[in-house]
Amino acid sequence: MQCPYCKQDNDKVINSRPSADGLNIKRRRECLNCGRRYTTYERMEETPLKVVKKDGRRVAFDRVKVRNGLEKACEKRPISTDMIEATVAEIERDLYNRFDREVASTYIGEQIMQKLKGLDKVAYVRFASVYREFKDISDFMEEVKPLIKSERKKK
C-alpha cells in the first residue's frame, strides 16, 4: 500500500478489524519510511447484480430502492429504522447468496412482502396494494382475507 504522505510503498499493518457492518476490513497502517499512520479499508469485490424488470430492462440492484419501499410502507408504523435496515440487509444478503448475475424484480418484491408480513401487517398491505397494483376493493380484500384468518387462529 502506498503511503498517502510520502508516496513510498513500505508499510506495516498495526491493527486490523472488521467494520461495524462486517462487509469491510479496517486496517491501521504505519509507513516504515516516514513513520506516519493512516487507515485503509478493504472490501470484497462483488460482481454487480442486475435486476430484470417486468418490461425486460436490466438495471443495477440498488439497496436504496428496497429501503425506500420499506420506509414508505412502514411510515407512521411502530417499525424502527434499525429494523428496516436489518430487513434490507437480509434481503440483500439473500439476493447475493441466491443469484450470481441477475434477479427478477418480482422475486425482490415477493421477498419484501414476506419480510413485511412478519414485521407489520398494515405495512404489508400498504406495500402489497402498490406492488400488486390493486384495481379495486375486491383486490384489497383478497389480500387481507388470509391475514384476518391467521390473526383469528392466533387468538
- pLDDT tens-digit readout, 23-49: 789 999 999 999 999 999 887 766 789
In the structure, what pLDDT confidence band is assigned to residue 1 with cuts at 50, 70 and 90?
confident
Residue range 75-82: average pLDDT?
94
pTM tops 0.85:
no
Predicted pLDDT of residue 150? 78
Mean pLDDT for the chain overall: 90
Higher-pLDDT residue of 20 and 83 is: 83
Nearest to 143 by CA among 155, 121, 125, 123: 125
In the block, residue with C-alpha cell 487507515: 39
Res. 87: pLDDT tops 90: yes
Higher-pLDDT residue of 69 and 132 is: 69
Res. 52: pLDDT tops 70: yes
Buried b (16+ CB within 10 A) or exposed e, 93-121: eebeeeeeeebebeebbebbbebbbebbb
DSSP state of 45: -
In the structure, what pLDDT confidence band is assigned to residue 140 with cuts at 50, 70 and 90?
confident
Predicted pLDDT of residue 98? 94
Predicted pLDDT of residue 155? 66
| Cβ proximity of 128 and 146 under 8 Å | no
In the structure, what pLDDT confidence band is assigned to residue 69 with cuts at 50, 70 and 90?
very high
